[in-house]
Each structure stands twice: as C-alpha cells, then as structure tokens.
C-alpha cells in the first residue's frame, strides 16, 4: 500500500538532492571542521557554504546563523540568552498557542520564579494585540511569538509585534519553524532579533536547527563547550546535517513559488471537498492568513484519534490535536485557546502538505474520508442520522 503522507508539519521527507549532498560527509569526508589539516578543512569549507545558503534564504548575514540540534534547542537558547543578558529582567511574554518548545520552557521558568505572560488568541487564532501591547513592561526581557502555528497554520503579525517590542527596548524572538521555506523572509528589513528554524520541517534531516541572532544582539550560549559557532554553541558540528540543511534552504528558495501556488491549490481543494462532502465539519482558524500547506478540520462528535486509525488503514498519514496516547484525551491547547467547542476540538485533524504531494493523493483522501467519518459517527452516541442526539454534548 502506498503511503499518502499529509503530516509534513510533524516532519518531512529528506529531499533526494539533500541526501545526495550530505551523504559523502558521513563516509569519505568525515573530517572535523575544526581540525588544522586539510582533510578537516575541506569540510569546514562546505560548512561555510551551507551557512551562506541558510543566510541567503533568511536575508541574513552568514555570521548571524548559529547551527543547533533542532528547533527546540534554538527556542530554548533564545529565551535563556535573553534572561542572561538583559540586565536581570525576569519577565517573558509569549502566547497561549506556542509549541511545547516554548510553552513547557515557560512553565519551567515560572517554577524558577520568573514571570511569564501568555497572550490569548481570538476564535480565528489571531493574537490579541491590545493584550500584547499592554503586557510589555520595563521588566520584560524578551517576547517570543511563533510566526505560524504548527496546528492551524495561522500566522501571527510578528513584524508588527517585533516593532512594538523594539520601541520599548525589548528583545523579540520568533519561532519560525513552520514558516521557513514556505514564505519569503528578509531579516534585513525586519525588527526581529532572533529566529528559530528546524531542518526536518523543510526536507533536511532531523537533528539540525538554526538560531538566527541579529548582529549586535547580546548573546549568552546555552550549550557551553568548545569554540564552535564562534563560541556561541559548543559541540562538534553535525556536518552532514548542516550541509544537508544548506542544500534544503537552496531548494526551498527555488520552490517557494510552487509551495505558494500548487501546494496551496491542493490544500484548498482538499478542504473544500471535505467541507462539501462531510456534514458538521469545519476549518479551525483563519482561512486566509495562514501558511499555504496546512489545514485543521474538525469533525463533530467523533474522536480525531479514531479517524487517524481508520485513515491509516488506507495509508493516509495526518495528525490529530487530542493526545490519546498520553492517556489524557485532552483536546489540543491551541484549539482550546481558540475556544473551539469540545465536541469539535476532539475530532480535529491536521493535514499538512508538501511539494511531494500529488493531486491523485488528494483525490484518494477525499474519496475515502467521508465513508470513514460516516462509519465512526454511526458508533457515536451523540450522532444520530445527521442530527445532534444530545444538544449539550
């Protein structure tokens, strides 16, 4: 059975070009880029080239790029660096819908005695800008807001938010893990001080990330060790990962157009067909202001986990917001923050596409999904022949 992979916000396939570029650095070209000999030197040269490719995608300078191990490390580094360098300020501003890489760090910081403000969002997933502006104080060390939400794809106005922070002398970090490669970014024109990205979300391997740090920003390393990354991140470089990420960034720059037109067209077709064929289904979040590859759809009165299991029988991979595997069956914190009703939030599915998806794949999902939903609803005590059996359910 062929896999239909529509879970690209979780991770992506490594592009064949990326694999080809990075493979020699696992085998023949295994030198350490810090070594004095030319065997290591040729790897250092290739790492420099990759740094330039990443910088080019972001409109940044190569020395503003710090290679890390993942998006989570980049997020943690940005916030911990701000707390270490901003004159003892003890307040962090973030949002209610952040990825756990920020949200769990926030909870950890609260336990350590810091103050963390999570700005609420509207029903469409938009940041409450009045609450945001009012939250900024003279004790705020850093604002960290995600650029695009990983569950709904909804975009935050990070440039506007960064400008407001800058006016008050507050550092601004954005978790751009779901944006890089999908939308143009130009850090030269931006008020953002730090930005996180993750290789495995843009067809590079897992285990490689980047923290962009604007030149002149005070910085304190999170991982303390050797002199790598100009003393800003200790640890021998993941050279195949870095070289693969460089190639992936070069490809992303070239494919941005396709992502914005063909991929968006497939995503729009998928959701329009589902909405028209499946009663009591709806899109979560703003349908206009979002990244082109993502849709989050709720199917009322059934469990997202059950839908996933039945789609899996047809080789269709997506993800759900509820965490059945953890035993909690709690709907996603993102949908709860948006006020999505309980019966809708439980049955939510995120489909996230990539340049490798085809129209035939979308057609197959559209063909299979209505039957899956109908079957599951036939078992639901709250669903009787298209009518709500229990108004308060």
Residues at the interface with ligand PLP (CB under 6 A): 70-72, 75, 99, 101, 146, 150, 175, 177-178, 198, 209
CA–CA distance, 59 with 67 (Å, rounded to integer):
16
CA–CA distance, 191 with 175 (Å, rounded to integer):
14
Answer for the pair 297, 283: CB distance below 8 angstroms, yes or no.
Answer: yes
Find the shortest distance in angstroms from Cβ 54 to ligand PLP: 15
C-alpha atoms less than 13 angstroms from C-alpha of 148 in its C-beta half-sphere: 28
CA nearest neighbour of 350 among 176, 210, 178, 157: 178
Question: What SS3 class is residue 254?
Answer: helix
Which of residues 40 and 235 has its CB atom nearest to ligand PLP in the complex? 235
Which of residues 202 and 369 has its CB atom nearest to ligand PLP in the complex? 202
Find the shortest distance in angstroms from Cβ 146 to ligand PLP: 5
Find the shortest distance in angstroms from Cβ 370 to ligand PLP: 29
CA–CA distance, 388 with 381 (Å, rounded to integer):
9
Answer for the pair 34, 236: CB distance below 8 angstroms, yes or no.
Answer: yes
Find the shortest distance in angstroms from Cβ 350 to ligand PLP: 11
CA nearest neighbour of 311 among 257, 263, 371: 371
Answer for the pair 158, 180: CB distance below 8 angstroms, yes or no.
Answer: no
Backbone dihedral region for residue 240 (phi beyond 0: left; psi -120 to 50: alpha; all else: beta):
alpha
Which of residues 145 and 278 has its CB atom nearest to ligand PLP in the complex? 145
Which of residues 136 and 176 has its CB atom nearest to ligand PLP in the complex? 176
Answer for the pair 266, 356: CB distance below 8 angstroms, yes or no.
Answer: no
Query: Quick check: is 324 catalytic?
Result: yes
Look up tokens 């596409």; give the residue: 353
Find the shortest distance in angstroms from Cβ 313 to ligand PLP: 25
Find the shortest distance in angstroms from Cβ 177 to ligand PLP: 4
Which of residues 71 and 292 has its CB atom nearest to ligand PLP in the complex? 71
Q: Which residue is nearest to ligand PLP (CB)?
A: 71
Which of residues 212 and 383 has its CB atom nearest to ligand PLP in the complex? 212
CA–CA distance, 175 with 154 (Å, rounded to integer):
13
Which of residues 244 and 278 has its CB atom nearest to ligand PLP in the complex? 244
Residue 268's Cα: distance from chain center in Å? 20
Strand partners, 212: 65, 195
Catalytic-role residue among 70, 317, 324, 390 = 324
C-alpha atoms less than 13 angstroms from C-alpha of 107 in its C-beta half-sphere: 7
Find the shortest distance in angstroms from Cβ 374 to ligand PLP: 31
Among all residues, which ones are annotated catalytic?
324
């Amino acid at each position: 059975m062929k896999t239909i992979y529509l879970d690209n916000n979780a991770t992506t396939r490594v592009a064949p070009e990326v694999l080809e570029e990075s493979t020699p650095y696992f085998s023949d070209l295994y030198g350490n880029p810090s070594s004095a000999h030319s065997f290591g030197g040729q790897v250092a040269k290739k790492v420099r080239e990759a740094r330039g490719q990443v910088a080019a995608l972001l409109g940044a300078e190569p020395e503003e790029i710090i290679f890390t191990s993942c998006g989570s490390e980049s997020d943690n580094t940005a916030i911990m660096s701000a707390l270490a360098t901003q004159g003892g300020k003890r307040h962090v501003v973030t949002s209610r819908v952040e990825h756990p890489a920020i949200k769990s760090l926030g909870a950890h910081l609260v336990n350590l005695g810091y103050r963390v403000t999570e700005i609420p969002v509207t029903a469409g997933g938009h940041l409450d800008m009045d609450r945001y502006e009012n939250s900024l104080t003279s004790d705020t060390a850093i604002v960290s807001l995600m650029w695009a939400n990983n569950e709904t794809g909804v975009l935050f106005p990070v440039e506007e938010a960064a400008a407001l922070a800058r006016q008050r002398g507050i550092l601004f970090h954005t978790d751009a893990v779901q944006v890089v490669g999908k939308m143009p970014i130009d850090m030269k024109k931006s008020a953002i001080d730090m930005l996180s990205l993750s290789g495995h979300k843009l067809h590079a391997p897992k285990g490689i990330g980047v923290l962009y740090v604007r030149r002149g920003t005070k910085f304190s390393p999170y991982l303390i060790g050797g002199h790598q990354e100009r003393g800003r991140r200790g640890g021998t470089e993941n050279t195949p990962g870095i070289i693969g990420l460089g190639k992936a960034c070069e490809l992303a720059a070239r494919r941005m157009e396709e992502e914005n037109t063909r991929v968006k067209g497939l995503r729009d077709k998928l959701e329009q067909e589902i909405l028209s064929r499946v009663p009591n289904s709806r899109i979560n979040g703003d349908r206009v202001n979002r990244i082109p590859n993502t849709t989050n759809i709720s199917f009322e009165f059934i469990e997202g986990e059950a839908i996933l299991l039945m789609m899996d029988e047809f080789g269709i991979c997506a993800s759900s917001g509820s965490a059945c595997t953890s035993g909690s069956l709690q709907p996603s914190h993102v949908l709860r923050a948006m006020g999505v009703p309980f019966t809708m939030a439980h049955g939510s599915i995120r489909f996230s596409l990539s340049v490798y998806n085809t129209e035939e794949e979308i057609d197959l999902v559209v063909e299979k999904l209505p039957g899956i939903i109908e079957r599951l609803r036939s078992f639901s005590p709250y669903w009787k022949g298209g009518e709500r059996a229990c108004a308060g359910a």
